[in-house]
Structure 1
């Protein structure tokens, strides 16, 4: 039976195809990033430093410092020129070169750690362009902001869900293997990006947003809500990427592969529920998912630390993933609800700036508190910050008009 004209099936639309490809780009970027997390102490040891929280903090922090500094710049350049695809390809290629350079330098041995941090910073400066602008291109698509951000969310969740356990297994083959795989993954992302039609609004010729996300916040203070929530969500993610990984390995005697599997227990439900819960936020508004999800998320972070056995800690990680999936697509969709059409690149860049500041804070706060007062205190701090930000901003948040119906798409 032919599936040609007259059968009632015409295949996916151009928008559907581009949504899928852009989600794949986001997936590959996050997959490459998270490959490194489960054995981060093994990696810094292979690169010439003693395996410790401090060395891991510097290595992970260098990338996210670049994310903070360059996310807004990529968005600004995209909005000014009215182009996105070319910048995504350039960002993915530059990120691939950074990962592969780190692997080559580490293989050579006896390279100053500060030089490796410089390369890591450059890799992050390019990678954030691919990630942030792929997400911005999803914002440009028709079909509902919750649906489009749900696609971004499921790509993020799937990339991290597969990256954590696979990264742990790759570390068993060699400490530098995840770097080689990450570089190859970003080369694939660059190839995928060339297949997407560029729907960016025409360059408007105005200097919008280069004078920083703070200028954008002064003009549109409502963006402060998703930026603050994104900051705290990423803080807990950064906390688990470093402190959580070391905690599971030290407390329960896990190797890198085992730690990756435990992290995967969070990311699997986080990935699978992103899309449907993004659609739900289109129907019920953003308030309920963000408020309920954030408070529950903070409570479960604490529960992970209080779990006396690995089985209970693993179960708490699954619940944590469900709570994260409730919050993430609604928060990203809120950025889209608020931002003007021709300033989406800067708005999403600002969201990533605050999110990556959150990652940095998660590394630093978690490392400092764990070193000074122990892991339980560190988990308590992370959980209190996650739930506390929503409770403190709740009265003003409830007055935000765009949340009333969830229909502004």
Structure 2
């Protein structure tokens, strides 16, 4: 007998499994709560980035941006290993719990009085632990609901992820006003709580009955190279999000004089509609064209991002909300397309690759934003520096859509995705 709400998937490829029972509401809610808890610590420190890193260690804006990039280097290296390990041993739950506990310890360690290099090293390992937990949580979500219901489960999980990111920023801003280190302490406590919730409620999906070795996993990945299409979007999307979590924070506080709570509220204006609309767009992606959602959403999102640096202060709140809406259009469809294009026995590996592509984008996003803004600022002033940085981010997203569209249309015509 299967556990309630758990699917039984076949081995022959995408769509090759038996039709699973409907996923229970309790299990859907649990996946959403876990996703919130995993992602909220990501943005808890963002509103106090200048104080937490720049002023605390007396480093430049470019080096301050490393705080949001070095953990993604760890994530990029770890995500494919996490997915391959889960596909190899067939068990995800204990790995998720262990990774969450390591992540909590790293957050506490970052509050210690250490040299800047050691601080960044801790941040690197924090990124390793975080992406390990997130990749396997997404893998569990992708194993629920079957081919036709995966949009619902991935939509709930994706919405939880973005809601966690949205909640982290304003809470971090309020906590940081009292003590710059409080967002890190709160992040550690939240991650430990999520580990306890996972231990009590998270269930592994049923085994496929076959645990491929490393060589078999790599062979199957090479046979499914079409996965590169959604990975390009994962890279470009996280590249631009890197600007919103780092460059935007510095832009808001440095150019507009925004306080940490105000920075947190503006980031939430982006993240809340992103979170709330991820679920409906996930459901829509099951019934509509993922290709159109991805490319159309990316084009609009890119145009809005490219113009952000020119907006007057009073436009920033509603403008960020509009950008968040367009981001939601493409977020869950890109994850769903990843699962469309890979068979179930390597789904953890595929989602690990998805997170690796995203992590690489997130590495380059803050670094590019810091480099462009500082370079242009030196000759044309701070405002021009930030305008150039957001221009680069927006154009990158538009180019991604233009380059990927012909390939996606071919995949759609062949029936590989919608």
**TM-score (norm: length of structure 2):** 0.88
Partners of 2:325 and 2:152 lie apart in 1 by 18
Deviation of 1:153 after TM superposition, in Å, equals 1.4
Counterpart of 2:203 in structure 1 is: 197
Deviation of 1:182 after TM superposition, in Å, equals 0.3
Partners of 1:203 and 1:84 lie apart in 2 by 15
Give per-residue Cα distances to partners, 1:341-361, cap 9 Å, x unaligned: 111100000000000000011
Deviation of 1:25 after TM superposition, in Å, equals 1.5
Counterpart of 1:399 in structure 2 is: 410
Query: Given the alignment of the two structures, is residue 163 of structure 1 paired with residue 168 of structure 2, yes or no?
Result: yes
Deviation of 1:38 after TM superposition, in Å, equals 1.3
Deviation of 1:329 after TM superposition, in Å, equals 0.7
Counterpart of 1:187 in structure 2 is: 192
Partners of 1:405 and 1:341 lie apart in 2 by 14
Give per-residue Cα distances to partners, 1:57-99, cap 9 Å, x unaligned: 2222221111001011111111111101000000100100110
Structure 2 residue aligned with 1:102, among 107, 110, 121? 110
Deviation of 1:24 after TM superposition, in Å, equals 1.5
Which ranges of structure 2 fall in alignment gaps of 5 or more residues? Answer: 1-20, 377-384
1:230, 1:351 within 8 Å by CA — same for their partners in 2? yes
The CA RMSD measured in Å over matched residues stands at 2.0
Give per-residue Cα distances to partners, 1:216-248, cap 9 Å, x unaligned: 663212111110001000001011111111001
Structure 2 residue aligned with 1:369, among 359, 367, 372? 372
2:107, 2:126 within 8 Å by CA — same for their partners in 1? yes
Deviation of 1:131 after TM superposition, in Å, equals 0.9
Partners of 2:259 and 2:98 lie apart in 1 by 36
Which ranges of structure 1 fall in alignment gaps of 5 or more residues? Answer: 1-11
What pairs up with 1:233-382 in 2 under 5 angstroms? 233-307=237-311, 309-373=312-376, 374-382=385-393
Counterpart of 1:6 in structure 2 is: none
Counterpart of 2:74 in structure 1 is: 66
- Indicate the SS of the match to 1:39: helix
Counterpart of 1:125 in structure 2 is: 128
Counterpart of 1:387 in structure 2 is: 398
- Report the number of matched residues: 386
Partners of 2:92 and 2:206 lie apart in 1 by 6
Structure 2 residue aligned with 1:149, among 147, 154, 159? 154
Distance 1:210 1:100, change over 3 A: farther
Structure 1 residue aligned with 2:35, among 14, 21, 26? 26
Counterpart of 2:233 in structure 1 is: 229
Partners of 2:98 and 2:126 lie apart in 1 by 12
Partners of 1:345 and 1:23 lie apart in 2 by 19
Partners of 1:63 and 1:405 lie apart in 2 by 34
Distance 1:61 1:203, change over 3 A: farther
Partners of 1:318 and 1:216 lie apart in 2 by 40
Counterpart of 2:182 in structure 1 is: 177
1:286, 1:403 within 8 Å by CA — same for their partners in 2? no
Deviation of 1:208 after TM superposition, in Å, equals 5.2
What pairs up with 1:34-53 in 2 under 5 angstroms? 34-45=43-54, 48-50=56-58, 52-53=60-61
1:22, 1:193 within 8 Å by CA — same for their partners in 2? no
Partners of 2:195 and 2:129 lie apart in 1 by 12
Counterpart of 2:94 in structure 1 is: 86
Distance 1:405 1:209, change over 3 A: closer
